[in-house]
Structure 1
Amino acid sequence: MHLGILTGGGDVPGLNAAIKAVVNEAHRMGWRVTAFRRGWAGPVNTDAADPSATPNSHMALTPDLVRAVDRTGGTFIHTSRTNPSRMKPDEIPDWVKVDREPDAHGRIDITSHVLGVLNTMEMDLLIAIGGDDTLSYAARIHTEGMKTMCIPKTMDNDVFGTDYCIGFSTCVTRSVEMINRLRTSAGSHERNMIVELFGRNCGLTALAGGYLADADRTLIAEVPFDLQRLADLLTEDRARKSSNYTVSVISEGARIINEEIIQSGEEDAYGHKKLGGIGERVAAGIKQLTGTNIMVQNLGYLLRSGGPDAVDLIVAKNYGTMCVQLIAEGKSGLMVGIRDGCYATQPADISTKGEHRVDVDGLYDIDQYRPKIARVEGIPMYLR
């Protein structure tokens, strides 16, 4: 059997461990594995008539090649946010036969080319590792005749259909460590510290980071907040402390009541603009309202960089191994995941069927702007 594999979207710690597990388990069964480089840009930039003419778009994977890759973070086969169903004309290689007209936004669907590449390379099944966007496209091509399997990864842990996505534990672990490190500067200068974390639509990273680091206030993407109310709370927090400083955590997708989410730049292939800047906006507002100097730190890519923790290693390894085992059983069109604490599967398109968001009623105090676990018994381990 010939398996394909790719990683799409943002990088997270644990991707290499999942790739290694797929390769080793497939090799044990006598199968071969080919990686597409740079996510869906791999098949897009492969010449369907002669794949060997575009060697930079794909590579054969062997146990020897992946032997040590799990010791580092990121994805050694690279990634991108390419979406073959919404390509700009100038992004399409010359050898691709365009058989559709541009949509209203000038984007072109070249899925027929992707399917042609997979057919020419005689791939039996493609394993896609990614978030909602990457996996939704994998689910689509499964319905169009190419067998696929999906492995969920996101720093936000927000893929619908699984309790856990590769990358989340390392992200939260680093968040807590860095938030606590930043206390020394905030305390030394007696300031309010605003720490901005990942979270476009789901505030789980900020919720968990703020909860575990015992931040004074935590602002999540799901709950718009009042700036004056926040300023008053932080003033009370500082007055109550002999150290005379505060630390607040905020999701990049959080917003002030009656204001829009702060985003910039051009939409990517999946319709997303770049988030970031809410920390600076809040800092400016708090300073104006209180007269207190503010420190702002956007942790951003620091949370993606470096190797995975033990949780992301074991989950990634088991997701990769599980995928190949299921394929050996003749199964496809599935997303592996964790449900109720156990490894399980869902249909590949499950990520398109709903949203995973913070359980605000059970996990958040909307008046105090901080995590509040209404009742621990019965809730998922990772606060889902």
Structure 2
Amino acid sequence: MKRIAVLTSGGDAPGMNAAIRAVVRRALYDGVEVYGIDRGFQGLLEGRLKPMTLGSVGDIVHRGGTILQTARSEAFKTEAGQEAAVGVLREHAIGGLVVIGGDGSLRGAEALHRRGIAVVGIPASIDNDIAGTDESIGFDTAINTVAWAIDKIRDTATSHERTFVVEVMGRRSGHIALWAGLAVGAEAIIVPEVPFDLDAIARRLIQTKERGKRHSILIVAEGVMSGAALAKEIERRTGFETRASVLGHIQRGGTPSARDRLLAGRLGSRAVERLLAGQSGIMVGIRGEAIVDVPLADVFRGEKPLMASLIELARMLSI
């Protein structure tokens, strides 16, 4: 294999640039040409390939977002679009492709694998909802960003003796809410995967205030309900002045944490190693501290559950 390419697709995640850097530098170290594809699968269809050098990835390991940019592509989802993408890769003599992104991006990688292109995927998603890996690139940074924001919200909540509802990202997944909620000591963590009782939450908030606490923090994943709607329900049930704060896309941006940079470097290097070893149709991930290879078909067989031990810990600590 003399030439490979790398693209980022779907939602951006802190650490994507560190992964691009690792792919490019590992490939060049092994004497392989590398091309970057701008704007994900859409850019692939448009032939937006450019050669990558050591200078291309200099001074990016600490930057959020992705220097290759990202875009959604409805055309690539079609059979015709995927065949066209294969044609572009073959026209440019690309022997292997590294796809960095979340669930949709990895499904696109599998589609190309089925059409004879050597592909390795790297999980990058702040939602951490990709099965087969303990963590996805960007997750650690996202929960640190949420904790940083809530620490500031707590200051004003205490000053005004208010209850605050903080809405975080996670349409179908509560990983951000659960991990960040535990980190900040939230009084309630509401996620799509776990049933909840608003009356029981309200009673606990009342008991908390009766024992002298001047504020409360609740975290809700956006897939459950809006923060504003939950704040109204809590205020109606408790009589406490309640405010909502929606963190939104602040969770996707910013300088990646040291953990995300290290994970990105390890996964990027492994992806190139696997391509050069003749592997395809896999995702490189992490389990414990070991880097593992996971067949892409296995990644899509089920959703990634929340850790039961963390759910129980949150229940015990929120008394």
- Considering the TM-score relative to the shorter chain, is it more than 0.5? yes
What are the Cα deviations for residues 269-307 of structure 1, in whole angstroms up to 9, with x where unaligned?
xxxxxxxxx111101112222332212111121121111
Q: Say yes or no: does 1:293 pair with 2:241.
A: yes
Residue 189 of structure 2 aligns to a residue whose secondary structure is: strand
Runs of 4+ in structure 1 deviating by more than 3 angstroms, as ranges, are 83-87, 369-373
The size of the alignment, in residue pairs, is: 316
Whether the 8 Å contact between 1:40 and 1:83 is mirrored in structure 2 is no
Deviation sequence 1:294-322 (CA, Å, 0-9, x none): 12111121121111111001000111111
Is the 8 Å Cα contact of residues 130 and 153 (structure 1) preserved in structure 2? Answer: yes
2:43 is matched with: 42
Give the equivalent residue in structure 1 for 2:310.
363
Q: In 2, distance between residues paired with 1:37 and 1:7? A: 8
Superimposed CA distance per residue, residues 119-138 of structure 1 (whole angstroms, 9 cap, x where no aligned partner): 11111011100111110110
CA RMSD of aligned residues (A): 1.8
Offset of residue 85 of structure 1: 4.4
Counterpart residue identity of residue 189, structure 1: H
* Identity, % of aligned positions: 33
> Given residue 196 of structure 2, which amino acid in structure 1 is its aligned partner?
F
Q: Match for residue 252 of structure 1?
A: 222
Letter in 2 for 1:181: K
Q: Distance in 1 between matches of 2:18 and 2:259?
A: 11
Q: Which moved more, 1:230-239 or 1:12-21?
A: 230-239
How far apart are residue 235 of structure 1 and its match?
2.0
User: Measured at CA, do residues 45 and 6 of structure 1 come closer, stay the same or move farther in structure 2, by a change above 3 Å?
Assistant: same
Q: Secondary structure of 2:4's match?
A: strand
Deviation by residue 1:310-340 (Cα, 9 ceiling, x = unmatched): 1001000111111112222222222101123
What's 1:116 paired with? 87
Given that 1:155 and 1:167 are in contact with CA atoms closer than 8 Å, whether structure 2 keeps it comes out as: yes
* Alignment TM-score, normalising by the size of structure 1: 0.78
**2:286 pairs with 1:338:** yes
**TM-score (normalised: structure 2):** 0.93
Q: Does 1:322 align with 2:293?
A: no
Structure ranking higher in helix proportion? 2
Tell me which of the two structures has the higher relative contact order, counting C-alpha pairs closer than 8 angstroms and 6 or more residues apart: 2
What SS class does the counterpart of residue 126 from structure 1 fall into? Answer: strand
Matches within 5 A, 1:47-86: 57-86=48-77
Corresponding residue for residue 153 of structure 1 = 124
Aligned match of 1:139: 110
| Unmatched 5+ stretches in structure 2 | none
Return the alpha-carbon distance in structure 1 between the equivalents of residues 96 and 297 of structure 2. 16
Partner of 2:27: 26
CA deviation after TM superposition for structure 1 residue 113, in Å: 1.0
**CA–CA distance in 1 between the matches of 2:60 and 2:76?**
31
Q: Say whether the 8 Å CA contact 1:13–1:74 is kept in structure 2.
A: yes
1:312 is aligned to 260
Partner SS, residue 201 of structure 2: helix
Structure 1 residue ranges without an equivalent (≥5): 47-56, 88-99, 101-108, 256-277, 374-384
User: Equivalent residues in 2 for 1:216-231 (5 A)?
Assistant: 216-231=187-202
Structure 1 match to 2:4: 3
- 1:106 paired residue number: none
Write the distance in 1 (CA, Å) between the matches of 2:115 and 2:315: 44
Q: Deviations over 1:182-233 (max 9, x none)?
A: 1011111111101111222221111111111111111112023233232222
Q: Which residue identity does 1:209 align to in structure 2?
A: A
The Cα shift of 1:81 comes to: 2.5
Q: 2: CA distance between counterparts of 1:158 and 1:324?
A: 24
Tell me the distance in 2 between the aligned counterparts of 1:4 and 1:40.
12
